[in-house]
A and B are shown apart, each in its own frame.
Chain A
């Protein structure tokens, strides 16, 4: 098989089955363990719109199902954005958090939680709207600043400004914390990242954004390969460098905004999962883009499972688990790479 070959249908089915299996396990396990049989019946009732009466079935359909779906979709989204930014900026350390977009989104969401700020007309998705808006504004600010400093919009300028901006946004968040004393607990818990209490409309929003962004990024897979090899090489082979860069950054920042608004900052997923997936399928985005979706979903599903069960009935924030696991895995991967080189 050639290194850049696409996945076969069988391989796609295999990956989908893996994600479904992980979903089933995560639906079944928790503070209360539920048999797969009961889950099947509850889901059957849900999809046939029959009445759902038993408390167990209600837990499955209205508590666990949205949460587990949100976890899988968030994992896929974060990992996809990591892949896109690492390819685009040719930097394995790039992701939403290095670029400042996550911090911007967090700031928007924190403002909503603390003061009830809202985007007019977005009452239903107040926090989401604010996070997307702030993610987008952050990106505009970062890019226009980068553009003023360096007309070519070169990669290291973007990353440097992103890091500075992250610090700035973090300082503003601390300021909000200091002012809004009565909401400190809510804010702190949210910033640690949690997908508990996600409802189905949010899941739907996440799913729609993820599908759209996946399609855009998969269509740009050759361009992402060119960027990952080198930006000036991309320019000489005829890639419209500026247009591609803007498209990727915009769609990725919108997706990060949605994800952060729903689940808080869940660290390291966008950094570690692409690394692991790249070890298995190689750096070609023909395979990396789809594989990172499945890899991200499975990784976050298991991280969430651990968060829910390890000190049950107490629940840990999922962001704590991913950061703990992610940091260790990352150091290990890095160490392996340095030793191999």
Chain B
């Protein structure tokens, strides 16, 4: 197991956002966190990334996550947040380059290989041509891709993605998810992502964790969890019929 989450709860003040959730992620998995608004998906992801205080146990490669130093943690997992406000006129390239930080802290890098890595990541997300442009002039989707490039430069074996396609147009949604799918197929890699679009979750995921109001309503292989019964319970509507009607409107 790469990531094990046991009885994790997250509370802001007296309000409990995530309640006693457990699941695990093995190499090769793509776990989709699915559920309605306010289900606690992003909060759970932030708790794993140590951006939100939590109780319970989270282990990464069998080590409690709080025992890992920040740089070591960053070589094992990386997070793409939904919104990435940028402070000053940093260029896309400067943002991507920061992905090297954790590895540089370990003195294990050469300048040339690093430059290649940054170029490769920026080409992967389609921002190489505009790498000198200031982040403050970018659209939400371009900014999201810039931080995705940073994550590819950081290159940890476990990616935590909070709505990785939320700001992207349809074309880039598919491109990005296919890119991530290819990335995941290399040995020892896994992804946990929050996903609103159930059809995309179904197409790319291997496992699913269904959340509602902070409580897990099922965790396991995707087909078992994203079935009609579970979905209708959680969303309170006939999801499959709705999807079908949508499709019929196209035909």
Q: Assess whether B101 is in contact with A228, with CB atoms less than 8 Å apart.
A: no
Known contacts A235-B49, A241-B70, A283-B88, then 10 further A-B pairs from the complex at CB < 8 Å, ordered by chain A residue: A2-B93, A4-B91, A92-B88, A228-B87, A229-B90, A230-B85, A230-B87, A232-B51, A233-B147, A341-B136
* A120 CB contacts on chain B under 8 angstroms: none
Q: Assess whether B90 is in contact with A238, with CB atoms less than 8 Å apart.
A: no
Does B89 sit within 8 A of A, measured CB to CB? Answer: yes
Chain A residue nearest to B160 (CB atoms) is A236
Does A312 sit within 8 A of B, measured CB to CB? Answer: no
Q: Assess whether A222 is in contact with B87, with CB atoms less than 8 Å apart.
A: no
Q: How does the 8 Å CB contact mask read for A151-190 relative to B, with 1 for contact and 0 for none?
A: 1000000000000000000000000000000000000000
Instruction: Give min CB distance, A85 to chain B, whole Å.
Output: 13
Q: How many residues of chain B have a CB within 8 Å of chain A?
A: 38
Partner of B102 from A91, A92, A238 at Cβ < 8 Å: A238
Does A225 sit within 8 A of B, measured CB to CB? Answer: yes
Does B215 sit within 8 A of A, measured CB to CB? Answer: no
CA distance A238 to B156 in the complex (A): 11
20 contacts between A and B (CB under 8 A): A4-B94, A4-B97, A151-B53, A225-B98, A228-B87, A229-B95, A230-B86, A232-B81, A235-B70, A236-B51, A236-B74, A236-B78, A236-B81, A237-B101, A237-B150, A238-B73, A238-B75, A282-B91, A283-B87, A283-B88
Q: Assess whether B53 is in contact with A240, with CB atoms less than 8 Å apart.
A: no
CA distance A225 to B105 in the complex (A): 15
Does B79 sit within 8 A of A, measured CB to CB? Answer: yes
Q: A interface vs B, CB < 8 Å?
A: 2-4, 90-92, 151, 222, 225-226, 228-230, 232-233, 235-241, 278, 282-284, 341
Count A/B pairs, Cβ under 8 Å: 92
* Main secondary structure on A side of the interface with B: loop
Q: Assess whether B99 is in contact with A237, with CB atoms less than 8 Å apart.
A: yes
Given the known inter-chain contacts A3-B132, A235-B51, A278-B88, please indicate yes or no for A225 contacting B94, CB distance below 8 A.
Answer: yes
* A226 CB contacts on chain B under 8 angstroms: 98, 101
Q: Assess whether B101 is in contact with A238, with CB atoms less than 8 Å apart.
A: yes
CA distance A233 to B149 in the complex (A): 13
* B53 CB contacts on chain A under 8 angstroms: 151
* B105 CB contacts on chain A under 8 angstroms: 238
* A2 CB contacts on chain B under 8 angstroms: 93, 132
Q: Assess whether B101 is in contact with A239, with CB atoms less than 8 Å apart.
A: yes
Instruction: Give min CB distance, A248 to chain B, whole Å.
Output: 15
Chain A residue nearest to B103 (CB atoms) is A238
* A232 CB contacts on chain B under 8 angstroms: 51, 81
CA distance A151 to B85 in the complex (A): 22
CA distance A108 to B150 in the complex (A): 45
Q: Assess whether B49 is in contact with A236, with CB atoms less than 8 Å apart.
A: yes
Does B9 sit within 8 A of A, measured CB to CB? Answer: no
- Interface residues in B32-62 (C-beta closer than 8 Å to A): 49-51, 53
Chain A residue nearest to B71 (CB atoms) is A238
Most buried by B among A91, A92, A228, A241: A228
CA distance A229 to B97 in the complex (A): 12
Chain B residue nearest to A237 (CB atoms) is B101
Q: Assess whether A284 is in contact with B94, with CB atoms less than 8 Å apart.
A: yes
Does B232 sit within 8 A of A, measured CB to CB? Answer: no
Q: Assess whether A237 is in contact with B98, with CB atoms less than 8 Å apart.
A: yes
Q: Assess whether B154 is in contact with A237, with CB atoms less than 8 Å apart.
A: yes
Chain B residue nearest to A240 (CB atoms) is B70
CA distance A282 to B74 in the complex (A): 27
- Interface residues in B173-194 (C-beta closer than 8 Å to A): none
Q: Assess whether B74 is in contact with A4, with CB atoms less than 8 Å apart.
A: no
Q: Assess whether B71 is in contact with A240, with CB atoms less than 8 Å apart.
A: yes
* A241 CB contacts on chain B under 8 angstroms: 70
